[in-house]
Structure 1
Amino acid sequence: MSRLDRLRMGQVETRHFQQFNELLRYVFQVTKKELQMVGWEEREIALAKLPVLEKADVLGWFDGEKLISQLAVYPFQVNIFGRVFEMGGLTGVGTYPEYANMGLMNRLMRQALQDMRDRKQSISYLYPYSFPFYRRKGWEVITDKMTFEIQDHQLPKAKKVPGYVERLDTEHRDVRMVYRRFSQMRHAAMIRNDLAWDEYWRWDLDDLTAAVYYDATHKPQGYLLYWISKDVLHVKEMVYINQEARTGLWNFISAHFSMVSKVVGNTYTNDPLAFWLEDGDIKETIAPYYMARIVDVKQFIVQFPFKAVGTEIKLAFQLDDPILEWNQGLFTLHVSSTGEGELTQGGGSPDFVLNIQSLTTMLLGYKRPSYLSNIGRLTGNKETVEILEHLIERETPYFSDYF
């Protein structure tokens, strides 16, 4: 019997918790000492991993009773141009090095994607520890994360607003209320259920504080999640429903002028702070953040809200997928005059050609059809590209979660 023959794929259950945790620690090289340095004790470290096994669909390869490769899929939802999609959140991916190059992870991913398809999770998100690896598996970048650093003297001067800010516990219901409204407005955002909120808070320390902005009618319109350490105010996330709330929250940050030397943090939009600030000579960096892939192109297209262009559109295209055969071949896209899509197998000569990675980032609005055409990621004539430009909404994807 060969080494591969003695391996079996199966569900990873709570009884495998210690092995699951050990494999994650080894693959990501996270030591107990490193976690304890940021305030995590051994019991907390262990408990943090347990929900993955309890609430996610976890698959693994076993060599006898030894867990040697694994991945997990969380059941999440995201807002795509105003419609709620079931999303499979891929995490916990790893294989011991002595079992590498045996095709184990490829087969695990293939099975996980089949299971997502069966559960009607037509799209999958993940945080990439290796962009090339996940691109080879069909995922593509769909969001960015911007980091900023503002010196104390560069903080904006306070502007009069009719509302006020209150500092509250991060678990306060108004924080969730604001985010729920915000996620209904923001394309690609996580629709946070209890599981998503648990993951959002998982690695935060106890000194994280929420500052909530209330308008003149005492309705919450935005929040700031932050902590202060060594004269630095750290912004985890700022969410606002309108510009009044944004101004009110920055007034609150600027009120720390005498307490901090600088403000650092993250934003998840393509709206640089430099232009908004009076002194825009600040440090900002932008980096790709989350990746996604369409799991089942037919399911996805039926759900996807195309722009209503007032006439019926019919385009044939050739699609390639490195793993999933149901996403490969010639398809015909039908879009009604009201923007409802349908995909059928087959068609005439293709109007355009692309792979699942390019289709995903294009439909989610991270990269436009014209850009993909210009760099050779989409092959089609000018008229076809213009039709695709008109069919897809223009809105920057937003995703601030981590799992």
Structure 2
Amino acid sequence: MDLRQQIIDLWQACFGDTEEFVQLYFSTKYSDENTLAIIEDDKVLSALQILPYTMTCWGKKYRASYISGASTWPEYREKGLMSRLIREAFITMRNREIPFSFLIPAEEWLYDYYAKSGYAPVFRKACEVYRDILPADFNVCGNTIGEYYAYFSSRIGERTCCIQHSLDDFKVILQELELAGGKVIAVHNNEKRIRGLAFALFYNNRILVKDWFYDDIAARNELLQLIRREFPKGDIFCDIPATVENNGYKRGMLRIVNVRRILHGYAKAFPQVKHVWRIIDDIIPQNNGIYFISNGKCMQRPDDDKFNTDDIYTVSELAIRLFPISDPPFLSLMLD
């Protein structure tokens, strides 16, 4: 059987993307190795991809898998197939030593659906709206993809907790942006060094900036002028990381696949904290237990009622405890 073609057929039946986007995705992001499927009589009934990413938090880099293309033929839905696949994905991630999984629900009701698998809605974003911007009257120079990426990776790497993008992924981001009629826009200093970068497109009578970076307010204002010159009509809506002052709205969900690994990183990052936590995970039994966090270390013991714990958390509650709404992780420029 041709697994790839069957996955394409299922994708097109479920998502309704353009042929150009499907071709881009399956020529750049898809691989059989990262695809999980339920197959009966040589027919793919349900499938998903686990795409490799890196997530930075607490000053470290962690491997993370993005659940993409989760889909089931309509006649086979409500039979528990996707829940089976997600559980299989967790086993695969643990075998590959991937401690985080994340996803972006396509519809609001799916937040409750994925919560049943231990995902928590900790990713958030805010939005800034700009109006009455005059177009730029200055010329700009072009850059290579390598120059764009060098600036992009340095700036996104400065974010406290964020999904990162490799160079290969960045190239796909630019291709997808072009397919959607968008543009990457940059401003420079006198030495032609990039001072600001924006990923913008026109959608539903507004200009969407899917992410942007700038060195200072002057660079931000120049970016806005160039965005206005490229897209003359509509208010400019710019996605930005959420803050304490503007905690924004839900952007995606995170699942801790390996609690011990993540709590060890948390303990090292905050050596002054001391906790005794009981963690409950109904899907990944290896995560269950009592966790002693002290002096920069984390020890796991089997669950035992003899220990007095500070708190009891489900695995999704633990994610909310570690990544609170006051300091949420951020993700942008996903192919969603």
Place the TM-score, normalised by the shorter chain, in its bin. Answer: 0.7 to 0.9
- Please provide the CA RMSD for this pair: 3.3
**Alpha-carbon distance change, 168 to 366 in structure 1, aligned in 2, over 3 angstroms:** farther
**Alpha-carbon distance change, 98 to 262 in structure 1, aligned in 2, over 3 angstroms:** closer
Match of 1:132 among 112, 121, 133: 112
2:177 match: secondary structure: coil
Match of 1:197 among 145, 166, 170: 170
1:203 match: secondary structure: helix
**What is the match of residue 325 of structure 1?**
285
Match of 2:261 among 299, 303, 313: 299
Q: Tell me the distance in 1 between the aligned counterparts of 2:308 and 2:258.
A: 23
Give the counterpart letter for 2:140 in structure 1. E
Name stretches of at least 5 consecutive residues in structure 2 with no aligned partner: none
Give the superposition deviation at 1:104. Answer: 2.3
- Provide, for residues 287-335 of structure 1, a one-character-per-residue CA deviation record: whole Å limited to 9, x for no partner: 31111111010112223365546x4x4422222223111122x312323
TM-score, normalisation: structure 2: 0.83
Q: Tell me the distance in 1 between the aligned counterparts of 2:83 and 2:161.
A: 26
**What is the match of residue 188 of structure 1?**
161
Give the counterpart letter for 1:18 in structure 2. Q
**What is the match of residue 41 of structure 2?**
64
Q: Tell me the distance in 1 between the aligned counterparts of 2:320 and 2:247.
A: 21
Q: How many residues align?
A: 327
**What is the match of residue 268 of structure 1?**
240
Q: Tell me the distance in 2 between the aligned counterparts of 1:250 and 1:46.
A: 32
Give the counterpart letter for 1:366 in structure 2. P
User: Would the aligned equivalents of 2:59 and 2:269 in 1 still touch at CA under 8 Å?
Assistant: no
- Provide, for residues 78-102 of structure 1, a one-character-per-residue CA deviation record: whole Å limited to 9, x for no partner: 1113211111111111122332333
| Alignment map for 1:199-214 (pairs within 5 Å) | 199-201=172-174, 203-206=176-179, 207-214=181-188
Q: Which moved more, 1:172-181 or 1:100-109?
A: 100-109
User: Would the aligned equivalents of 2:267 and 2:293 in 1 still touch at CA under 8 Å?
Assistant: no
Give the superposition deviation at 1:232. Answer: 5.6
- Provide, for residues 99-142 of structure 1, a one-character-per-residue CA deviation record: whole Å limited to 9, x for no partner: 23333222221121111111111001111121111111111112
2:6 corresponds to 1:16: no
Give the superposition deviation at 1:205. Answer: 2.9
2:260 match: secondary structure: helix
Give the counterpart letter for 1:351 in structure 2. D
Q: Tell me the distance in 1 between the aligned counterparts of 2:146 and 2:86.
A: 37
User: Would the aligned equivalents of 2:185 and 2:227 in 1 still touch at CA under 8 Å?
Assistant: no
Q: Which one has the largest radius of gyration?
A: 1
**Alpha-carbon distance change, 244 to 110 in structure 1, aligned in 2, over 3 angstroms:** same
Q: Tell me the distance in 1 between the aligned counterparts of 2:170 and 2:267.
A: 27
Q: Tell me the distance in 1 between the aligned counterparts of 2:207 and 2:141.
A: 15
Q: Tell me the distance in 2 between the aligned counterparts of 1:324 and 1:175.
A: 40
Give the counterpart letter for 1:79 in structure 2. T
**What is the match of residue 358 of structure 1?**
317
Match of 1:46 among 20, 23, 35: 23
Give the superposition deviation at 1:150. Answer: 3.6
Give the counterpart letter for 1:289 in structure 2. R
